[in-house]
Each structure stands twice: as C-alpha cells, then as structure tokens.
Amino acid sequence: MKQLLSQKLSPQQIQFIKLLQIPTAELEARIKEELEVNPALEEGDENTDDEVEDQERDDEADDSDDFDDPDSEFDSDDNTLDEDFDQGSEEQPEIEIPTKEDDPVDNTKDNEELDLGDYLNDDEIAGYKMQGDGPGEPEDDREMPLADTGASLTDALLDQLGFADLDEKQEAIGRQLIGSIDNDGYIRRDLSAIANDLAFSQNIEADEAEIEGVLHLIQSFDPAGIAARDLQECLLLQLERRHQDELTEHAERILSETFDEFTKKHYQRIQQKLDLEDDELKEAIALILKLNPKPGGTGPVGMGKVQYIIPDFILTNDNGVFNLTLNARNAPDLRVAPAYTEMFQTYDKAAKKDKKMKEAVTFVKQKLDSARWFIDAIKQRQQTLLKTMDSIVRYQHDFFLEGDESKLRPMILKDIATEIGMDISTVSRVANSKSVQTEFGIYPLKYFFSEGIATDSGEDASSREVKHILKEIIEGESKNRPLSDDKLEKMLNARGYNIARRTVAKYREQLNIPVARLRKEL
C-alpha cells in the first residue's frame, strides 16, 4: 500500500484548452462538428423570452417534484473550469465581458428511486469528453484552413498530357513524372528511382532514356520551367521560351557556364570569364532576376494556395478611445436543447425503472452535460480572449495610436500573464494563431511580444524597434557597397542601442535579409 498525491486535468479543462488555442477559422468547424455529434446541443439564443417563461414554470414544478437537476453538477466546486477564471483582473470600461449565469438548482433533495451516481462513475468519463480530446495529431502541426484555388497544377499538366501524341507506355510514364512534381514545380527524384516505381507499381519496363524523353516533353508544358530537376535547369527552360536575341544569349551563358559565380554574386569573375561589357552584364542579370524560381507555386494553374487571414479581434480608435470587440464568429448562439431537458425529466419521473430506462437516463444526462460544458467552454474562451487582448492594447497603447513600430514596448508573455492573473501557458495559447485587425493592418498577436534591448539612456527598447531601425538602415544603404554586420553594429551603437554583432546577424536573419555580399547589386 502507498499514499500518493496526483493532479489531473478534468474533461472540462481539456476541452477549454483545446478551444482556446484554435483560431476563429477552425472554431466554426469545431462548433459544427459538435452540433453534429451531440443532439442535446443546438443553435439559438439561450435567453429568449419563451425559454424564460418555460424555466419559471419548470422552477415551480421543481418545488413540488423530487428529481435531480441535470445541470446541478455544473454549480458544484468539483466541476469548475480552469482556475484562471476565478482570478479576474480589473474591469475595463471599453470591453463588456459576458459572465456565466448561475442556474438556480436545488441539490438538497435526493431521488431515492433513481440515483444517477450508480450508473455514472469515473470509468465512464469518456462519455463526457469531446471528440479529439485523446492523443492525436499535435495542435501546432495542424494546417490552417485554406481557400479553394480551383484546378491544381497536377490537373492542368494531366490535361496538357492528354493532348500530346503519346502511346500507352509513354502516357503512363508521363503520369508518373507529373505525380513526382513537388509543390515548387520541381522533380527532385532520380530518374532511376522513377523507373523502379514504374516497374514495381505498374509493371512497366522503361529505361532512363525513355523517361528523360517524356520528361523533356513535360518541360515544354505551361507554366514555363515546370518539371525541372534543379534551379539552373528551371531558369534555362524559361529562357528557351524567350525570343532568342543577344540579351537572352548572354543570360543563358551566365547560367550554363558561370552558375556558381552567379549564385555567389561574383560579378567581376563572370565579366572576366565571359568577356562581357558592364551594360551587357547588368541587363543579363536583370533578365535572370525576373525569372520565376518556383514555377509550381504561382501562375494561373499553379499549386500555390491563398491563405486567408480571419482576424479574431477588431480594434477601432474613436478619438483616442480604443474599442475592442471579438470577431462575431467567436460568439456563436448555442443552447441546450429544451427537448432533451424535458426528456430527462420524463425519464426521471417514470414509475418503472428497468435496465433500459437506466441506460436512457445515462445517455441523456451525458449529452446534456457535454452540451453544457461545451457552451461554458465557448463563453470562457471569449472572456479569456478579450481579457488578454485588452491587456495587450493597454500595454502597447502608443503603438496602436499611430501604428509606428518604433513605439512598441518590450513585452513578454509573463508581463501579460501577471497583469491579468493567468498562467503563462494560457496567454501563450491565446497568442498562438490569433490576429487583430487595426486601422494600420492585421497583425498576429505574437508580433507584439518582444524582448528588451538596453540603451545608453538606461531604458529598454523593444527588439522589434531595433529590427525596424536595422531594416531602414539596410534599405537606405548603397547597393554597390552594402554594409557589413560590423558596420551595422557600429551604426546602431551610435544611435544608442547597445547591441553586439552576433545580435545584428541574428536580427538580420530573422528579417530574411541576406549577408552584405548577397545584397550587392550592379
């Protein structure tokens, strides 16, 4: 025998955590899914006048009848949701946060004939869980909903393949090659591997010469550069479709004879090796830079998908007073189906309590509890989102007034968690995959969180502010002689930011800005 103390998340807490971290676009699908699996949950306003009158009549009946209220467990201390909601922060005048209504129930009367506790125990907790609560795909790996872009690149290529004059074997090879094209429009698999696939999966014997012949045909399809095996071949395929003049010839020579020097921007070596004039080299490089390095990701038949951002918050500025509201999709009208409540009461008052009746009572109660918990989790989600975003707005007040990145204050998750009285993990879930619509554009919530950099005045500046200044300096540099990281460090230090060279390099990489040598232009 041993004594131990353990802590477990209740089903309500697990459900709330999952709902909190999903964005608005996924919330609609999650609500629709729950409506399909739980008949006790339905759309509609829970506080209509007719339902209030029905509730009053039910309350009068409760005074004279002995039965257990199906919602009584939700008012007990054992079934409270995340303790974070018991630690509210100061109420903000511009934000109206809905509060959970307390249902009047009477738990002092017990039903001697039918005790639901005999049929519902800890082993049946799965009935209370929602679909997806168990182990499964990590939330961070789930894809955001994407817009339907119509015909895919694969469909377009197969259509073009159908118009080619090919025999049955060549068409099978063509389909295999088109199926091997990745999202960027490249075939990065060896032709020998594709030959093996044809032999094992389709029982087609084809050598590499036959496969390469069909590959050259596919490379003539639209978009230009499709089915290339590397970047060099992709760019050359696009140049082949241009009018063959002196400029195109220079560009083809640069890619075919000095591709390594081109990727490293060693323009002097290219000029010496190909004996080109300054103007000829400059025009040829400009032509190459206009080519598409990823033919599969863009174009009318490309595979690229448009990502629509649905803001979770809407922030407006009314003469210096911020009005923060939730996206209407975050506040659906849900209620417990009155028919199921009446069904539970009917079963409970039945004189005959056989096995089938007990099973029916158990099923109905599970569905009622599940519906009530889901509604409560949605309401708690709304409160937490508003509370967290309101704190961020007050913390970054100067930025939201003007939209100037240099006005961003250093802010970490702990700052917001401390202010609203919640755990850091809760704030992190709110900031994940959420965005706010402002007068200056749509920003992800993670954008406002940054570390501090010490300045000569002894104050802390946001790393976002330093990145903004670093980007401005690089944009204003001479492209013939780009600034190195050492020079950028000295310029930032001269402005009062105590920053090291390695930090400059880290911020430059985070801004997707290449090193000085690769920023050089003719």
Q: How does 200-232 read in b/e, with b if 16+ C-beta sit within 10 Å?
A: eeeebebeeebbeebbebbbebebbbbbbeebe
Q: What is the DSSP string of 154-205?
A: HHHHHHHHHHS---HHHHHHHHHHHHT--TTSB--S-HHHHHHHHHHHS---
CA distance 296 to 45: 47
Residue 74 has pLDDT above 80, yes or no: no
pLDDT band of residue 351 (cuts 50, 70, 90) is low
Residue pair 448/434 in contact (Cβ under 8 Å)? The answer is no
In this structure, what token pair is assigned to residue 42?
A: 């339905």
Pairing of strands 435-438, 313-318: parallel
Percent of the chain residues topping a pLDDT of 70: 73
CA distance 24 to 426: 17
Q: State the average pLDDT for the chain.
A: 75
In this structure, what token pair is assigned to residue 120?
A: 């519902």
Span 452-519 CATH architecture? Orthogonal Bundle (1.10)
Q: What is the pLDDT of residues 447-501, one digit of tens each?
A: 888 776 766 665 566 677 788 888 888 888 887 788 888 888 888 888 888 888 8
Q: What is the pLDDT of residues 285-318, one digit of tens each?
A: 888 888 888 888 754 434 444 556 788 889 988 8
Residue pair 454/465 in contact (Cβ under 8 Å)? The answer is no
Question: Which is nearest to 413 in space by CA: 429, 397, 401?
Answer: 429
Q: What is the pTM of this model?
A: 0.52
Give the distance, in angstroms, between the CA of residue 469 and the centroid of all CA atoms in the same chain: 28
Q: What is the pLDDT of residues 96-140, one digit of tens each?
A: 444 444 444 444 434 334 344 443 444 443 333 444 444 444 444
Q: What is the DSSP string of 432-460?
A: TT-EEEETTEEEEGGGG-B-EEEBTTS-E
Residue 201 has pLDDT above 80, yes or no: yes
Give me the pLDDT at residue 141, please: 45
Give the distance, in angstroms, between the CA of residue 375 and the centroid of all CA atoms in the same chain: 24
Give me the pLDDT at residue 374, please: 87
508 or 62: which leads in pLDDT: 508
Pairing of strands 435-438, 334-336: unpaired
Q: What is the pLDDT of residues 212-222, one digit of tens each?
A: 888 889 888 88
Q: How does 153-168 read in b/e, with b if 16+ C-beta sit within 10 Å?
A: beebbbebbeeeeeee
Domain ranges of the chain: 154-221, 228-303, 452-519
